Structure 1
Amino acid sequence: MFAKRIYTLSVCFLVVLLPLIGSATIFSQNIPGESRQITISSAKTALTIDYDHKAAVTSLIINGQKVVSSTDGMFTSVKVGSITYSSLHTKSNPVIVQRADSLKITGINYGDKQLTISETWTFIKTSKFIKWKIERSFSKAVNIDEAAMPVINFDNINTWEGAYQGYGGLAWFYLFNEKLCTYGVHTRASNFWNSKTNNGLNITVDAPGEQVAMKYTRTNDDRLQYSVTASKQEMLPRGDTGTNRRRFIRGRTNVWAPFFEPADKTTQTLTFTYFEYDEKYGRGKFTGINGEQVSAVLGTIAHIGVIDSLHYGGNSWHTPYGPICLHEQYIAQLGLGINDPAYLNGYKSCLDFYRDYAIKPDGRVYPRWAYTNEDAMPGQFNKDGFYEAQWGILLDSNPDYVSNVSELYDLTGDKKWVKGQQLACEKALDWILKRDSNHNGLVEMMTDSKDQKRSSDWIDIIWASYENAFVNAKLYHALIKWAAIEHQLGNTGKALYYEEFAAKLKTSFNKPTTDGGFWDDEKKCYVHWRDKDNTIHGRNMVTPVNFMAIAYGICDDSSRKKLILDNIEAQMQQENLFFWPLAMTSYAAGEGKEWQFPFPQYENGDLFLSWGALGVKAYADYNPAIAVKYVKKVLEQYSKDGLAFQRYGRLKQDGLGDDILSGNSLSIVGLYQAIYGINPLYNRFYLEPHITSELYGTELRYNFHNQRLTINLDSSGYAVSNHFFKVISTKNFGFAGSKNHLSYFDGSNAIASLQIITDKPLTIVVKNWNNEQREWSQTASKVSIKPLSYKISQLKPNTVYIVSVNGKTVQKTKSDDKGNLLINHRISELTESLSVHLDN
């Protein structure tokens, strides 16, 4: 294809390719004083490559900011035993072939007599990104201690605030508080971001037939080192014998175990793409509340319970033992606030993994997973790291598994996925429902008495036994959520069974303690548990129990709600607490582990922020001003200490514990769900705000089922819109908009009340919607030649209705036997008022 001319000089060898047909140039230079660097750039990304007896990227510029600027900026390496080989020291000068839109580097050979690594690098640029293809082969098969394709050394540990993983987790560099902290994960994508510079860099890895792992290290010179490893088998944590599963280590960088690599050729491609942080992760305009703090909490703390691609929980990967509590019902709920499709899709894979490895054959759900087995009950763990906790059989893991599946289904609308979870959820529920031996609707724990000193729920060193209100409240929530899904999956029999059990549970739960229930007439609260001998325990206003009773709809007695919430708030003001404690007063002697006394101490009265979403929801329905107050107090605390603790002490309200819980963000999730009213559901975006006047003017951006929605909350009404449709109403409603198809759901109704098919952008304002009349105005972008199709549902069957436009009757028509009315209407004015009402 090309004609070659060869020149022989006395001091050097030079090969020049003269393009006759194409536009490629080959460089192989060792002329003294000549540059052996070349730059390739695309969009807002530029790479500079040095090929002088090495192959390395010495500069990476992102949107004008140099983030890599060293001779060892990016390179490839292999460590075998104590010897490290790298492309920083090649056996000869590589050869470059340059084209208009690509750059190829061959002859990247490094190693020694025992092992030679041969690589070819190809850089391809487009208008939006740069691809870096690395082809590698070994001179022989070898056992490798560490390998990187490539290593990237960013200039400073603070160059990026964090890196969101392809599965929705976060490498948060704030937590790399020592040199040589290293965090390893299994993912093919990393989104580096800095909210202050607004710069972001996505690096995606394509390695056909290979497993991909990444690690992040704070180096001895305070740089951020990012390494990508591809291997035939999944990378395992170093020293993994089934008892060590650590992803985060200190004082060293070798987080991954050695692995075998055949002499076969391997290929992987990295794609570098610039993004604007605010465009990709921005949340909109906040009024009356600190939006920067809201974004920071949901963008960092909410993510850190995601330890790896198949391990989601509430405890941070940063802890020495890295536990995951499967007995936490709010892990999917965190996704509502995180609002990242990667988190939701990743959690689906995680729950599939839990389905396959964390559920025993009889349906019992293991409550925990950890880096090691030190917290496990002796002999009660499996090879995958799931175990029964040493404190007792924590029964809330069974309903919580089902709740998380159910809520994730609402967030994604993935019916095929939830169908794949159906048998597991039924098995988990059926296992715990069998524990109602006296058939009163309340399931019983494994212990009969506090004197056995074993726990049964999340509050794991309080000796809740027999009939436990905490576990039963969670079970009620799971039954209601899952029964609705059983209906959708066509299993009416199971749905009715779960609904009937839930109704019986609710009735018994609400009975006075003197009649076998949990309501304490004297203390004016729901108690924590009843022992088998009928003694009542936990009469100290345990806040999660009482908040769950209200928020989950178990307590529908308005006078009881008022008593509970007013009494809690009175004591909160008296003590001037910034957040609700686990219990308002002390457990009685003998009801918990000895060192929790005297009150307040740890689970006997300290402040655990993980129950914030429930508290916010309980108050939002009753008095939203109180809910907003505590959201602001949590944000104020964040501004002081970053919420970087396991809990807060009762007396000094000081941060305690060496863990950071992702649940510390749940008050802010509650802000989204209960105050702003954002409730994604499987078939619609449901908006039910409880806002105060100070929040008027809020405009949120929200990802929902592969769409970017805008939510407006104002004194005049609420609105939801996508790029094509907009619905405005003064009350709660549901919205679904796909191509040419708009659905409006009245109130909390799961069936669309109004559907419109049109090929023009349309805004509707709901004015009146009741059994007698349906009225709305609509504004189109232009008058239509093609009629719009309308379907009005849930009318009286076989009934004549009058259709009016701008107050004038245009037709009379009859609803069908299902109460549906079909209308075709051509828009003649940009703004019209339509009405459908009974023909009286």
Structure 2
Amino acid sequence: MTNHDIKHNTGNKTITITVPDKKTSITIDYSNGCVIKQLSLNGKNVLSSSGVYTGIRIKNSAYSSGDKNSGITVTENPKGITLSGISYGNDTILVKEVWDFKLNSNKILWGISREYSNNANLEDMAFPKWNFADLSAWKGGIMDNGGMVWCKYLKEVNDTYGVHTGGVTFWNVESGDALRIAAKTEKGKEIASKYSHSEKNEFTYTQLITDIELSQRYNLSRFVSQKADVFAPFKVKKGKIKVSFEFGYLDYNKEYSRGTLAGIDALAVRELLNTTGRYGVVDNNIIGANGWLTNWKCLHEPFFAQIGMAVNDQNYTNNMSATLDQERDQAMLNDGRVLSRWHNAAGDEIPGTYNAKTGYYEAMWGYTIDSQTGYVINTSEQFDLNGNIEWLRSHQVSVEKALDWLIKRDSNKNGIFEMMNNNVAEKKASDWLDIVWASFENSFVNAQLYEALTQWSKCEKVLGSQQKSDYYSAIASRLKIAFNKPIEEGGFWSATKQQYVYWRDKDGSVHGDNLVTPVNFAAIAFGICDDPKRIAMILNQIEERSKAENLFHWPLCFDSFKREEVSDGNWPFPKYENGDIFPTWGYLGVRAYTKYDKAIALKYINNLLDQYKKDGLSSQRYSRTTQLGLGDDILAGISTSITALYRDIYGIRPKWNRMGLEPNMSTTLNGTKFNYTNRNTIYNLELSVNDYLMSTPGFSIKSKESFGANKTGNVLTYYPHNDDVMLLKINAATNLSINMEVNSWDANGYSWTIASPDKYQFIVKGLVPDKGYRLSINGVIRNIQSKGDGSFSVEHVCKLPTKFILK
């Protein structure tokens, strides 16, 4: 630390530390106690007059580093500055602290060493507590478990949100200024944080360091209204404990840039995913969609991994893996039944099903069977994000149990799987639409089961279980045939209404021919319906009716359910799940329309972004008549139309062993450029219609068609069409970047051009075994024969751009 970095005014006992780029500076005042009185970012102080301090609370008495103390000493050294002799407390427990400050580039390192004089029971602690000017200082904070605190929702004094993680990035969207605080504890110690609205109308951020993980004070509540204490009392031991913080200014616009999204409002995309998209993270091991304000998570939702794909934060991805681990261990019964919900307290459950220790239970509205499919789909998609085969293997038995539990439910052996309720007279739900009395043979759940079977079949193959892969694939094929039969023959297709009906009661009566959008979208999006005529009938009908009402997004159904098919809260139509707009299922609509009419898919994506700019999408649903937000719940799933922008339009399709691109671009999106991080590799993507570029420092691939790629060491592997039927492996003699363009890859021949000079070995796998081929290298032709395993290899030194054609 040089002279211009530190100004120590011994007269008024203040220390000002400024980082080299001047973006961050702090002023420490030790004239009475010891407090960081100012934290300036980009020239603006963001703290209240309370500043930043440490402290403890014992019963009704609070003590802090700001308490009167004349014994503080300051030691300057070449690496920084140290404040010793900080002490506070009472006869029960005395706390002594040393604060050590250093610079790390343009960040400030703050180490706190604390010593407790005795063992003690504490009600609370500040280790430390950051007091910001007010709730408008930051829009929110992105936490290092992938979640976020949304400041505007700490509305009332002492509204508090507590989580078991310590680092955060606060941001102000107007200025673009951000403050990142990273926390590091000693091995074996636990860190937690709470965010609160103080009695002085400050926004406060408090960290707590303990020997064991903190429990919640009120049931399992992470958010509590008008109570500052979210964590239960805890014990501290006599002795020393340390923590360190690295903090400083961050350029939010640069750090969280979504790149150049031609034809799309990139800023709205960024803010939507950093708020609504992340809001469903309740805490470590609990990622859902209802979020932390209501302390709720529905396991009967299959899109959490997909949200993580779009959020593109390794912290979210890690937490989602841990969430599925916890659900496997705590939310699955011995017979394979996956409990449908998590909540902070009892009251929403079928009597006797709530576990007060874990929070998992069955919903009071009925057995929502799509918790079986939700677990399987999320696990399969999560594997593509984390790429961890051992993690997938740890879920193999539980996923098989979850699938088999549902597969057993086919009492009439017709290939369609049944719910636990038999008819509407029972007034019980069986899926996400939890106050609609869908029963017995439910097409929405069965469409999700088809997707779950299809995805898991691929996972079994990766795990080396070809027999089980074939087994689940065969069940999916049989389900597809049964599903698509006319309703008169026991299927779900209504030729009269030109739509898939919702369910069939055990007595054979058919229900839900009122154009239920998630049912029909799921059939198309998940591929159980692949009949072009049916797809056109359904999607044209939905679009005509949406346009007629000028709806900004799709409602749950276009016509009313019958009175006996829904609970009282759905009447009169359109109301609630009987006709209101629930954007949660938007990703199914986008996916369905993308391959039919991309312009329609993009229209609803842009409509949702426009709505976000109006109201922040801070709603559960939207009124069909006014199109204004309704409901106390905020649903993170309301962001799924934008996750579909990444998956189904930009084609971000990572696989467990590669980065994948399967775009469906429109000319209005030409020139789209952004970075995407997959398992610690940053991929630069440039997308236009039939023109895709993927590059890293190690390679670049240009193609007109979908593909996947992975580079390990000097070996680049190219996966045509991003599937596993064929691959091209390029082994370079050096570690220089491998630059290639794929000219074509189809039955007429396989052609690629290498633009980077090097000595290469090219291996093609997936050819017809023992078959003659013709290889052209810059026009020079050789006859070759594939091996018995369908592969061939050739070595070549490329000095100039070299074109290979294999026929």
TM range, smaller chain: over 0.9
Q: Which residue of 1 aligns with 2:699?
A: 725
Structure 2 counterparts to residues 390-789 of structure 1, below 5 A: 390-715=364-689, 717-758=691-732, 759-780=735-756, 783-784=757-758, 787-789=759-761
- Provide closer, same or farther for how the CA distance between residues 587 and 682 of structure 1 changes in structure 2, counting only shifts above 3 A: same
Q: Which residue of 2 aligns with 1:825?
A: 796
Q: Which of 113, 122, 138 pairs up with 1:135?
A: 113
SS at match of 1:284: coil
SS at match of 2:641: helix
1:235 aligns with 2:214: yes
Conserved 8 A contact 1:328-1:458? yes
Q: Which of 116, 130, 133 pairs up with 2:94?
A: 116
Following superposition, the deviation at residue 533 of structure 1 comes to 0.5
- Provide closer, same or farther for how the CA distance between residues 308 and 42 of structure 1 changes in structure 2, counting only shifts above 3 A: farther
Conserved 8 A contact 1:685-1:704? yes
Partners of 1:38 and 1:643 in 2: how far apart?
A: 42
Partners of 1:34 and 1:277 in 2: how far apart?
A: 35
1:358 aligns with 2:342: no
Following superposition, the deviation at residue 180 of structure 1 comes to 2.8
Partners of 1:595 and 1:49 in 2: how far apart?
A: 57
Conserved 8 A contact 1:608-1:647? yes
SS at match of 2:459: helix
Q: Which residue of 2 aligns with 1:46?
A: 25
Following superposition, the deviation at residue 220 of structure 1 comes to 3.4
Partners of 1:645 and 1:716 in 2: how far apart?
A: 38
1:226 aligns with 2:196: no
Q: Which residue of 2 aligns with 1:106?
A: 84
Q: Which residue of 2 aligns with 1:790?
A: 762
SS at match of 1:677: coil
1:835 aligns with 2:805: yes
Conserved 8 A contact 1:42-1:126? no
Q: Aligned letter for 2:372?
A: N
Following superposition, the deviation at residue 34 of structure 1 comes to 4.7
1:263 aligns with 2:235: no
Moved more, 113-122 or 369-378: 113-122
SS at match of 2:402: helix
Partners of 2:468 and 2:805 in 1: how far apart?
A: 41
Conserved 8 A contact 1:325-1:368? yes
Q: Which residue of 1 aligns with 2:226?
A: 251
Conserved 8 A contact 1:54-1:89? yes
Q: Which of 787, 791, 804 pairs up with 1:816?
A: 787
Q: Aligned letter for 2:805?
A: S
Following superposition, the deviation at residue 716 of structure 1 comes to 5.6
Q: Which residue of 1 aligns with 2:67?
A: 89
Conserved 8 A contact 1:42-1:130? no
Q: Which residue of 2 aligns with 1:5?
A: none
- Residue by residue over 1:221-267, the C-alpha shift from the partner in whole angstroms, topping out at 9 and shown as x without a partner, is 3332110001122112223xxxx221112323111111121223211
Following superposition, the deviation at residue 119 of structure 1 comes to 1.2
SS at match of 1:295: helix
Q: Which residue of 2 aligns with 1:369?
A: 342
> Which is higher, the Rg of structure 1 or of structure 2?
1
Q: Which residue of 1 aligns with 2:194?
A: 215
Following superposition, the deviation at residue 128 of structure 1 comes to 4.8
1:280 aligns with 2:250: no
- Residue by residue over 1:165-218, the C-alpha shift from the partner in whole angstroms, topping out at 9 and shown as x without a partner, is 111011121323334322111113212223443333322222222211101112
SS at match of 2:595: helix
- Residue by residue over 1:315-351, the C-alpha shift from the partner in whole angstroms, topping out at 9 and shown as x without a partner, is 12123xx221000011111112111111001111111
- Provide closer, same or farther for how the CA distance between residues 493 and 762 of structure 1 changes in structure 2, counting only shifts above 3 A: closer
Following superposition, the deviation at residue 798 of structure 1 comes to 2.6
SS at match of 1:379: coil
Conserved 8 A contact 2:692-2:702? yes
Q: Which residue of 1 aligns with 2:122?
A: 144
Partners of 2:790 and 2:205 in 1: how far apart?
A: 61
SS at match of 1:131: strand
Q: Which residue of 2 aligns with 1:14?
A: none
Following superposition, the deviation at residue 40 of structure 1 comes to 5.8
Conserved 8 A contact 1:203-1:270? yes
Following superposition, the deviation at residue 84 of structure 1 comes to 0.5
RMSD in angstroms over aligned alpha carbons?
2.1
Partners of 1:93 and 1:517 in 2: how far apart?
A: 82
Conserved 8 A contact 1:42-1:125? no
Conserved 8 A contact 1:51-1:93? no
SS at match of 2:564: coil
Structure 2 counterparts to residues 160-239 of structure 1, below 5 A: 160-208=138-186, 209-239=188-218
- Provide closer, same or farther for how the CA distance between residues 573 and 247 of structure 1 changes in structure 2, counting only shifts above 3 A: same
SS at match of 2:352: strand
Following superposition, the deviation at residue 64 of structure 1 comes to 4.0
Partners of 2:711 and 2:201 in 1: how far apart?
A: 48
SS at match of 2:452: helix
Partners of 2:260 and 2:686 in 1: how far apart?
A: 9
Partners of 1:803 and 1:234 in 2: how far apart?
A: 63
Q: Which of 303, 311, 318 pairs up with 1:338?
A: 311
Partners of 2:12 and 2:623 in 1: how far apart?
A: 65
Partners of 1:463 and 1:667 in 2: how far apart?
A: 27
- Residue by residue over 1:696-733, the C-alpha shift from the partner in whole angstroms, topping out at 9 and shown as x without a partner, is 11112211121111221224611111222111111222
Conserved 8 A contact 2:177-2:251? yes
Partners of 2:420 and 2:689 in 1: how far apart?
A: 52
Partners of 1:355 and 1:148 in 2: how far apart?
A: 35
Partners of 2:252 and 2:783 in 1: how far apart?
A: 54
- Provide closer, same or farther for how the CA distance between residues 725 and 607 of structure 1 changes in structure 2, counting only shifts above 3 A: same
How many residue pairs get matched? 799
Partners of 1:77 and 1:734 in 2: how far apart?
A: 53
1:307 aligns with 2:282: yes
Partners of 1:430 and 1:575 in 2: how far apart?
A: 43
Partners of 1:579 and 1:113 in 2: how far apart?
A: 63
- TM-score computed with the length of structure 2 as normaliser: 0.95
Q: Aligned letter for 1:648?
A: Y
* Long gaps (5+) in structure 1: 1-21
SS at match of 1:776: strand
Partners of 2:139 and 2:591 in 1: how far apart?
A: 31
Moved more, 740-749 or 586-595: 740-749
Partners of 1:801 and 1:500 in 2: how far apart?
A: 35
Following superposition, the deviation at residue 394 of structure 1 comes to 0.9
Partners of 1:771 and 1:477 in 2: how far apart?
A: 29
- Residue by residue over 1:800-825, the C-alpha shift from the partner in whole angstroms, topping out at 9 and shown as x without a partner, is 4343333233x443322122121211
Q: Which residue of 1 aligns with 2:267?
A: 292
* Long gaps (5+) in structure 2: none
Following superposition, the deviation at residue 39 of structure 1 comes to 2.7
Conserved 8 A contact 2:19-2:106? no
- Provide closer, same or farther for how the CA distance between residues 101 and 663 of structure 1 changes in structure 2, counting only shifts above 3 A: same
Partners of 2:690 and 2:305 in 1: how far apart?
A: 32
Q: Aligned letter for 2:788?
A: D
Report sequence identity in percent. Answer: 39
